[in-house]
Structure 1
Amino acid sequence: MRCTRLLTAAVLAVFAAGGARAAVFPYPAGAGNIVGRVRVVTARADDTLLDIARHYDVGYNEIVAANPGVDPWLPGVGARVVVPTEYILPARPWKGIVIDLPERRLFYFPPVTARHPIPHVYTFPVGIFQPGWPDPLGTTRIVAKRRMPRWVVPADIRARAAAAGDPLPRVVPPGPQNPMGELALETGFSEIYIHGTSRPWGVGRRPSHGCFHLYPEDAVTLFRAVAVGTPVRIIDRPYRIGQRSGLRLYLERFTPLRAYHRHHLPGMQAAIDAVTRYMARTGQRWTVDWGRVQRIVVREDPIPTPISQGSPPLARLLAALPARPYRYPPYGIDANDA
């Protein structure tokens, strides 16, 4: 119990200090599968949603979806910015690395050891594949860790780049122009890496040819924490169901990726299917507000939204959150180094 309190206090201290260099949380209590809390900040004249997102370890897709109608590049003085730092964890097993493609987020569940006896999870936003370059779904492992990697450009990427009038060399050496950044984890899937990036504003978007892009500071954290042999699971879950110790049921909805959903169920049917499967898996029952579910499925919402009958609407919960001034400097080019 004392160790749990110490870890929780350490996690809270990181967030209280405003830093989210490593978004790490103790496992949720009981049957819960939700970690973190949403926060609200007020912007200054020169702030952008991209800087705010990076500071709190949130991707571009998440910060934009959480703030509809807010200009990502110029939110404005005093703008109330919702930072979606609350997450429904992927379905068990909670082991190794799990990457959810539509969420564009990586979860790392390290093994419990004598040095780290309390189960905890890291989570980081990632950039994923461009349309036409889908990632494989399934399981593999980390097969190598590479510092200052060189990029051996695959032939199909060189061919497409040449056809677009932007030819690439066969090999891009380590350095600031290398899109692999300074640290890379090689997976067992052919030519698929989890790595830093020289273009961090692509995190949370679709900039890659199959690799997963991390903010440089997150690449450092993950590189240090992960061992060769760590299992990797790549999943596709546009609808995720969660709870906080059996109290309320929550739904997150992310835009399905066409590469995997050309013949997918209609949105409402997919949400119903996700809810019923979750209840069957947990053996628990809730009375669901299906009207609220219907409203959720027509938009992308990175914030877990309560869908239990009688639970307050998300807008009311967000409006009740205190807004704190955002006080951190913008990121410069020097922040691209790991």
Structure 2
Amino acid sequence: MRTVYVFQILVSVFLALVSAQAYAGYDKPYVGDMIEYDAKYEDTFIHLARDYNLGFTELRAANPYVDPWMPGRGTDLILPTRHLLPDASREGIVINLADMRLYAFINGDEAPYHTPIGVGREGLSTPEGVTEIVRKVEGPVWRPTPRMRKADPTLKEAYYQGPDNPMGTHALYLGWPQYALHGTNRPFGIGRRVSSGCIRLYPEKISELFELIPVGTKVTVVNQPIKVAWIDDELFLEANPSLAQSVAMEEYGEVPEEKISNDEMRLIVKTAGDWQDRLRWPAIRKALKERNSYPVSIARRPSLEVKGDVIIEHEKAAFIETPEEAKDLIEGYEPAPEKRDDIEKAQDKNSKTGEDTDKIRMAEGETTEQDQDQDQDNPARMLNP
């Protein structure tokens, strides 16, 4: 009897470990890597977007001063192929209307499948909330609504499978009536606000998603233009154009500045946590003004290294030799008295030679002028850690 009991315990432990591993989930706050691209003569943003799994608007936002139809041979382009993940449950499909991107958490601890989408235009917005995939159809039939046919009398009553069908080749219908994830016969609309509320995908992407997603999959739709996350010891902000800004970009090629909301301000400060005093507000203001659709660095905290039970801040490690001295820093005290002499000597040397300024400031936990200049002039410091 005791043997059976022990065996049951071992089985329970094994199943718990397997379950924990299965639901460990993807633990990074981002997907993808930024790319710097040297434009070719024949390139256009429409073709580059599709080739690199991007949407038109985000590619234009990342390169606001480049002609999207004729970038020009040799033009340096930023391909915004890294994205901070939305603040939502990492389960099933998550759609962020603001960055016009779909994330599918279907591979356990692997990075989510993600792709750009086309969403509802002004006045016909895609709804927010939680629903699920209720059915899948290959070769969907599109039936224009009475409103659509009134606005465009040339529309037919129904469009069956073929090149004229705006729904493309596949559709995944949502629990919300008349809403679906589907393909398109106009791929240049991906990454733009052009639909009547449905979610459009590139033809090749809807085919892939159709095979990956079963009926019953949870779908969460959010609208988060501002995303903030720590990647290692750097805090990043990704600012995407709002609905109004996207429309203005389409019509005028410029992003009108919007005042940051209290909620967005709270999000930035809350995510910074104990390192709020290290927020670089010039970089934040620039990112929010330009809305370049890729993450930029807005704060940096000291790197921390664990040695036994001691955490060492690398910015001050030059003046630390023993765990006891490191403990002083952890608890917020000044360096040990004998190490203050080292700092004073370095300061004296600096006053005579004009050298070691950065070393002193790093020892005191400050940001150097060079760092501040680089951050202010170029907050879009490429990620790829």
Q: TM-score, normalised by structure 1?
A: 0.75
Query: Which residue identity does 2:375 align to in structure 1?
Result: P
- Matching residue of 1:106: 102
Query: Which residue identity does 1:212 align to in structure 2?
Result: I
User: CA separation in 1, counterparts of 2:376 and 2:84?
Assistant: 15
Distance 1:253 1:41, change over 3 A: same
CA contact (8 A) 1:147 1:184 kept: yes
CA contact (8 A) 1:66 1:301 kept: yes
CA contact (8 A) 2:88 2:94 kept: no
Matched, 1:272 2:334: no
User: CA separation in 2, counterparts of 1:319 and 1:59?
Assistant: 22
Deviations 1:226-278 (A, max 9, x none): 01000001101111111213x1111111222259xxxxx93164431221343
User: CA separation in 1, counterparts of 2:158 and 2:63?
Assistant: 40
- Matching residue of 1:327: none
CA contact (8 A) 1:34 1:243 kept: no
Distance 1:206 1:92, change over 3 A: closer
1:45 aligned residue (24, 41, 54): 41
CA contact (8 A) 1:27 1:35 kept: no
- Displacement, 1:160? 2.2
User: CA separation in 2, counterparts of 1:277 and 1:151?
Assistant: 45
User: CA separation in 2, counterparts of 1:119 and 1:51?
Assistant: 28
CA contact (8 A) 1:125 1:203 kept: yes
More deviation, 118-127/233-242: 118-127
User: CA separation in 2, counterparts of 1:266 and 1:45?
Assistant: 38
- Matching residue of 2:13: none
CA contact (8 A) 2:287 2:379 kept: no
Helix, strand or coil for the counterpart of 1:51?
helix
Distance 1:101 1:314, change over 3 A: farther
- Matching residue of 1:295: 286
Matched, 1:89 2:85: yes
- Displacement, 1:173? 1.2
User: CA separation in 2, counterparts of 1:44 and 1:111?
Assistant: 35
Deviations 1:109-148 (A, max 9, x none): 1163xxxxx4330111001112110111100000111111
Query: Which residue identity does 1:96 align to in structure 2?
Result: G
User: CA separation in 2, counterparts of 1:318 and 1:47?
Assistant: 24
- Matching residue of 2:242: 256
- Matching residue of 1:168: 155
Query: Which residue identity does 1:253 align to in structure 2?
Result: A
Distance 1:295 1:121, change over 3 A: same
Aligned pairs for 1:120-199 (under 5 A) are: 120-162=111-153, 167-199=154-186
Count of residues in Structure 1 that have an aligned counterpart in Structure 2: 276
- Matching residue of 2:308: none
Aligned pairs for 1:2-17 (under 5 A) are: none
- Matching residue of 1:210: 197
Deviations 1:52-89 (A, max 9, x none): 11111000011101111111111111111111110101
Matched, 1:313 2:312: no
CA contact (8 A) 1:268 1:297 kept: no
2:209 aligned residue (199, 212, 222): 222
Helix, strand or coil for the counterpart of 1:301?
coil
User: CA separation in 2, counterparts of 1:267 and 1:131?
Assistant: 21
Query: Which residue identity does 1:152 align to in structure 2?
Result: R
- Matching residue of 2:61: 65
Structure with the larger RCO, 1 or 2 (CA within 8 Å, 6+ apart): 1
Q: Percent identity?
A: 32
What root-mean-square deviation, in Å, do the aligned CA atoms of Structure 1 and Structure 2 show? 2.5
Distance 1:295 1:187, change over 3 A: same
Helix, strand or coil for the counterpart of 1:63?
helix
CA contact (8 A) 1:305 1:314 kept: no
User: CA separation in 2, counterparts of 1:49 and 1:213?
Assistant: 18
CA contact (8 A) 1:95 1:111 kept: no
User: CA separation in 1, counterparts of 2:45 and 2:192?
Assistant: 14
User: CA separation in 1, counterparts of 2:282 and 2:262?
Assistant: 13
Q: 4+ runs of 1 displaced by more than 4 Å?
A: 309-312, 314-321
- Matching residue of 2:349: none
Query: Which residue identity does 1:134 align to in structure 2?
Result: S
Helix, strand or coil for the counterpart of 2:58?
helix
- Matching residue of 2:26: 27
